Amino acid sequence: MVVGVLALQGSFNEHIAALRRLGVKGVEVRKAEQLQDVSSLIIPGGESTTMAKLAEFHNLFPALRNFVKMGKPVWGTCAGLIFLADKVVGQKSGGQELIGGLDCTVHRNFFGSQIQSFEADLEIPNLASIEGGQGTCRGVFIRAPAVLEAGPGVEVLAVYPVPPDSNLVDPLIESQEGEKKVIVALKQGNLLGTAFHPELTADSRWHTFFLKMASEIEEGASNSIVTIEGSQPTLDQLERIDLPIFQ
């Protein structure tokens, strides 16, 4: 399995570095034909309107949509999540092209502007039960989107409370205590979406989760994950690796 990382704009280098720390080779994807050489794809965070313009300029959308429709594993983080959503609100005037496929509505800048970026611990029971480790992960939210509603086929992997000053009328999830929440991580078949940036933390569980998901989807196929020769780290080594931003 070769993991492609859409490398038009945004945090593609950080995803490739996160994969490298797991001993997995990530390949930069900038052209439609390069999608034929990868079996899964990460769409990084960045700025979705700019990324969409670049994707349009390089005529990438038909190939990206086809990749999703073929059932290939795709993980969108932040702007990448916006790309994967079937419906987006809060777009710049004129909107932007989307890949679609993830049955949900995303608010593009739900948590506000750049200066309202924040970090928070997120409860991740499903992820922790599969990947082990503690029951929370650090969410780095940079001008982050949120999922306002999702279809029945969507598995919710993390939620976050709606800020009290939000003008959102009808969030999807209301807890027993009446607290309103939005979805910030979700999965539907071959598609994974996170509104935050796991590639900016030392916690590799979202990447290992995606790699497992991709392997499962590809099960039976002859190709397996391409590792960087001689660099497969032991768990012990992984713990000692320097962090890009947050521990």
Ligand X SMILES: NC(=O)CC[C@H](N)C(=O)O
Tokens 């929370």 — which residue? 136
Is residue 11 marked as binding?
A: no
Contact stretch for ligand X (CB under 6 A) within 19-27, 137-145, 160-168, 208-216: 137-145
Residue 95 and residue 198: Cα distance in Å, rounded?
27
What does the buried/exposed string (b/e) look like for 21-49 if buried means 16 or more CB atoms within 10 Å of the residue's CB?
bbbbbbbbbeebebbeebbbbbbbbbebb
Q: Which of residues 58-87 bind ligand X (CB under 6 A)?
A: 78-79, 82
Kind of pairing between the strands at 102-107 and 146-150: antiparallel
Please select the residue that binds ligand X; options are 102, 142, 150, 213, rule is CB under 6 A.
142
Q: Is 15 in the site for ligand X (CB under 6 A)?
A: no
Q: Catalytic: which of 78, 107, 207, 218?
A: 78
Range in contact with ligand X (rule: CB under 6 A) among 142-150, 160-168, 176-184, 209-217:
142-150
Other Cβ atoms within 10 Å of 52 Cβ, number: 24
**Is residue 45 close enough to count as binding ligand X by CB under 6 A?**
yes
- Check the annotation: does 21 bind a ligand: no
Q: Which is nearer to ligand X, 10 or 23 (CB)?
A: 10
Closest by Cα among 15, 52, 8 to 29: 8
Span from 125-133, 138-146, 182-190, 231-239 in contact with ligand X (CB under 6 A): 138-146
CA quadruple 222, 228, 229, 232: dihedral positive or negative?
negative
Q: Is 47 annotated as a binding residue?
A: yes
Q: Any contact of residue 145 with ligand X (CB under 6 A)?
A: yes
